Amino acid sequence: MKEDSIIGNLHIHICILGSVRTNCYILCNKLTNEAIVIDPADQANVIIDYINNQNLLLKGVLLTHGHFDHILAAAAIAREYGVKIYANENERELLADSHMNFSKTAGCDYGMEPDEVLKDGQVLNLAGFKIKVIHTPGHTIGSSCYYLENEKVLFSGDTLFRETVGRTDLPTGNFSAIISSVKEILMLLEDEVLVYPGHGESTTIGYERENNEYLNVDRFWE
């Protein structure tokens, strides 16, 4: 279990769940006890136990993309608390298709539909936070990051990791697209923005600007 982070009124709890150790984030507003779950990867009971033990009021489930290792507990969590599941409008096919989202390969044959689809640039107001949807295709066609501008926190899914980027060899992945998403979209953010990825350790935009070799991707073609 990674350590929790507190940034202003935002409390970030991280659960590492499922067969490939996915970061599931539970965001809590310390003033209201309202909460959001980002990428409920698996083990719904772990997420539910934390929400109940902390007396949180869940307001929604956000998906960065549709791969099985980010969604397996989504329906159970949404059903338990009567909340909506949100995902990018371009991700519906992958979410629904157990071959495309690789749940079939993982032995669980899981498909789902989001309750509400999101557009690039849309701003959600959930749990007292303003959350900007940033469409970052590449890892999948509908991959999106969620940016809390007031807190300067970005949840990057499998688009941007510490010193690397997400894989692009699975259905709807595109290497050129993910490089463009990172270089031309995410790197417009300020250096101090904290980045919480779908796997591994957190980082910052400034650190990635200096240390992520994919920002100098031209060398791969030399």
pLDDT in tens, 105-147: 887 888 999 999 999 999 999 999 999 999 999 999 999 999 9
Contacts of 100 (CB under 8 A, 6+ apart): 66, 93, 94, 171, 172
Q: Give the range of the structural domain holding residue 188, as residue numbers without chain letter.
A: 5-221
| Cα–Cα distances in angstroms (integers) from residue 12 to residues 24, 86, 89, 146, 153, in the given order | 10, 19, 26, 14, 10
Asked if the model's pLDDT at residue 222 lies above 50, the reply is: no
Q: Which residues contact 102 (CB under 8 A, 6 or more apart)?
A: 67, 68, 69, 170
Q: Quick check: 178 and 159 in contact, CB under 8 A?
A: yes
Task: Say if residue 200's pLDDT is above 80.
Answer: yes
| Contact status, residue 200 vs residue 156, Cβ threshold 8 Å | no
pLDDT band at residue 217 using 50, 70 and 90 as cut-offs: low
What is the domain-level CATH number for residue 20?
A: 3.60.15.10
pLDDT value of residue 218: 56
98 DSSP 8-state letter: T
Task: Look at phi and psi of residue 91 and say left if phi exceeds 0, alpha if psi is from -120 to 50, else beta.
Answer: alpha
pLDDT tens for each residue of 37-55: 999 999 999 999 999 999 9
Q: Residue 178's pLDDT is what?
A: 97
Which 3 state secondary structure label does DSSP give 22?
strand
Read off the pLDDT band of 72 (50, 70, 90).
very high
Number of domains within the chain: 1
Asked which of 87-96, 98-107, 176-185, 191-200 is least confident by mean pLDDT, the reply is: 98-107
> Is the predicted pLDDT of residue 1 greater than 90, yes or no?
no
**Integer Cα distance of 112 and 38 in angstroms:** 16
The predicted model scores a pTM of 0.95
